[in-house]
Structure 1
């Protein structure tokens, strides 16, 4: 098919208002592999939107040349709700101000609905099982009954992605290199994605907690496999990844073009786009457990003074930042309060720093990639 543009209407709007999500479709409807890419689910994370824009431009040319052999769906601006949230000229794009949480949390858990639809219909043919499960997942999404605008958005996006072979949800961090979040069963199978994008960190978890968008698409498969047991072959048939395109300030045309080129090369390797991909770049990292990430948070409010840079290797116990109370000594005091030292709980590489320079108690200031899970980290492995 030619490049098709569809504006998907969103429900839950007050009278006199309307919102929609723009979907670009390339290739042939129903062709495999089916690829879904979205940017800006967190509406203030601009690098993903720019990379998706550059990807659409590349795909338009490829589709016109008949080179899109699978089906590729792209939503460059996945969150019009977040884009429209402003307080005193500051855009609030991560959380729904109507009280419905983080836009990349609480996506539908389809397990029970899919089990009810496929129970007794799965057999020894893994490929047939994949097709049966995908159809059931689409049916389950169609029966969701959202009330809030945020949940209407979640259902609309999931309806375009839940039956895909590949899902790339483009985000960014505060100050960070390019990194990926993946389900543990997808590694090392997804190492080509990490190599093509030049990822400098890959974090894996079977379940990260909070129901993010990528896991709504991918974790369903290994949860179904666990439910039905080894006698029913169920493959991890959706490679879904949250792709963090560096930091909030990394909004550059050259970077976005490079990211789009990396995605194109990956899709050529996976058979969604015709042509010979460039040689696979050397992998820059190995995956580490998401449960091994030390999120160093401040116990107090104050000015942040980082002591490390992204990419630094630190030892357990090392001071990675200080938080200063700038109010000075109390009346009659001779010394100002000493800065509070924030120390690493694990050895590893610093991969994220906050952009905030004044923090509140509980604010995550530094993130460190440790090689082994940290004690007590079993659920809710992501930031709020």
Structure 2
């Protein structure tokens, strides 16, 4: 395993960040190349600990000559966000300087322009330098995995329709409970990677990308940083690498995925109509029917009519739930994967900021 560091100079004198990069060299130049990163939202750590245990297995495979394809791993992809705290609370989702989500505003370019990402880096602020270097590394691979987590959540993934159903082997290997089929219409990291491949010939869009994959994996919730889960997920990702011929192992696993795979238009987001204390009546993983009572918002405690009941707009599977119990007006409470499109309007792109 080769360990190197990318230094990202800060925007004020005397500051800089280091980005460790782990590389496992291949023995087969024809094998797919893999790029995996975690903690782009710095406080989302299930992916970081997964990669800690995965690298143990990869080092052993490397010593035995069983690494077929190049593997690049960035286990802590956002040192800038990891250094941001406000009154003792980590602020790793948004850059406090620009107020931009660390997983937005990645350059949308053709793969043919990959080299331009790291030209003139001194002209960019630190967060843009970070994003451009992460994207540059990823575009040197064939399979790109961006490991995140949600709040309280099942295991699921955002996968562009251009990679589905070929990517069902990843969903099966990681025992995902749902897949959300995205439309590739945002500047999030995994969609910027897909954009570059789709527009390999500028102006001509490819709708299918066989042999490629760019995916956001949601490894349950933020508090699911656990040695048992991390080792289980590392074993799952190992199975995926074996299935795709990245590492050599004789053992084979079934590649079936039995969970729902639904377009983003089929995701209902339950939002609070007013601020208050939230009482949940259903949990993540519950399958619900239309009209089921999901939550009560206590808006005026102790007063008649001081609570608002929220019901399921349609049947589905509860994917996520907020961990907050004091919620703001229009705050997101739940995401529900459904068989039918939501009646709520949705802009193309990500479900939330």
Same topology, TM > 0.5: yes
1:177 and 2:154 equivalent? yes
CA distance in 2, matches of 1:351, 1:91: 25
Partner of 2:116: 140
Change (3 A) 1:313 1:226: farther
Change (3 A) 1:193 1:73: same
Q: Is the 8 A contact 1:346 1:368 kept in 2?
A: no
Secondary structure at the aligned position of 2:198 is classed as helix
Secondary structure at the aligned position of 1:215 is classed as helix
Alignment of 1:163-312 (within 5 A): 163-209=140-186, 211-224=187-200, 227-228=203-204, 235-236=209-210, 238-280=212-254, 282-312=256-286
**Superposition deviation, residue 236 in structure 1:** 4.8
Q: Is the 8 A contact 1:289 1:371 kept in 2?
A: no
CA distance in 1, matches of 2:287, 2:349: 25
**Superposition deviation, residue 346 in structure 1:** 2.6
**Which structure 2 segments of 5+ residues have no match?**
none
CA displacement 1:155-184 (0-9 Å, x = unmatched): 121111012111111111111111111000
Q: Is the 8 A contact 2:243 2:252 kept in 1?
A: no
Q: Is the 8 A contact 1:47 1:256 kept in 2?
A: yes
Q: Is the 8 A contact 1:166 1:238 kept in 2?
A: yes
CA distance in 2, matches of 1:170, 1:35: 13
Secondary structure at the aligned position of 2:323 is classed as coil
Partner of 2:70: 71
Change (3 A) 1:227 1:316: farther
Q: Is the 8 A contact 1:265 1:277 kept in 2?
A: no
Q: Is the 8 A contact 2:9 2:15 kept in 1?
A: no
Change (3 A) 1:229 1:249: closer
CA distance in 2, matches of 1:229, 1:99: 31
Q: Is the 8 A contact 1:293 1:369 kept in 2?
A: yes
Of 141, 157, 161 in structure 1, the residue corresponding to residue 138 of structure 2 is: 161
1:23 and 2:21 equivalent? yes
Q: Is the 8 A contact 2:163 2:208 kept in 1?
A: no
CA displacement 1:258-293 (0-9 Å, x = unmatched): 111111111111111111243225423131111211
TM-score (norm 2): 0.92
**Superposition deviation, residue 373 in structure 1:** 2.8
Of 357, 361, 366 in structure 1, the residue corresponding to residue 334 of structure 2 is: 366
TM-score (norm 1): 0.85
CA displacement 1:338-379 (0-9 Å, x = unmatched): 211223233211111110010111210011001233242241
**Superposition deviation, residue 208 in structure 1:** 4.7
Give RMSD over aligned pairs: 2.2
When structure 1 is superposed on structure 2, of 81-90 and 374-383 the one drifting more is 374-383
Q: Is the 8 A contact 1:300 1:362 kept in 2?
A: yes
**Superposition deviation, residue 144 in structure 1:** 6.6
Change (3 A) 1:37 1:271: same
CA distance in 2, matches of 1:349, 1:223: 34
**Which structure 1 segments of 5+ residues have no match?**
115-132, 330-334
Of 341, 353, 365 in structure 1, the residue corresponding to residue 309 of structure 2 is: 341
CA displacement 1:293-333 (0-9 Å, x = unmatched): 1111112111010111112122233331111125544xxxx
Q: Is the 8 A contact 1:294 1:368 kept in 2?
A: yes
Q: Is the 8 A contact 2:162 2:209 kept in 1?
A: no
Alignment of 1:7-22 (within 5 A): 7-22=5-20
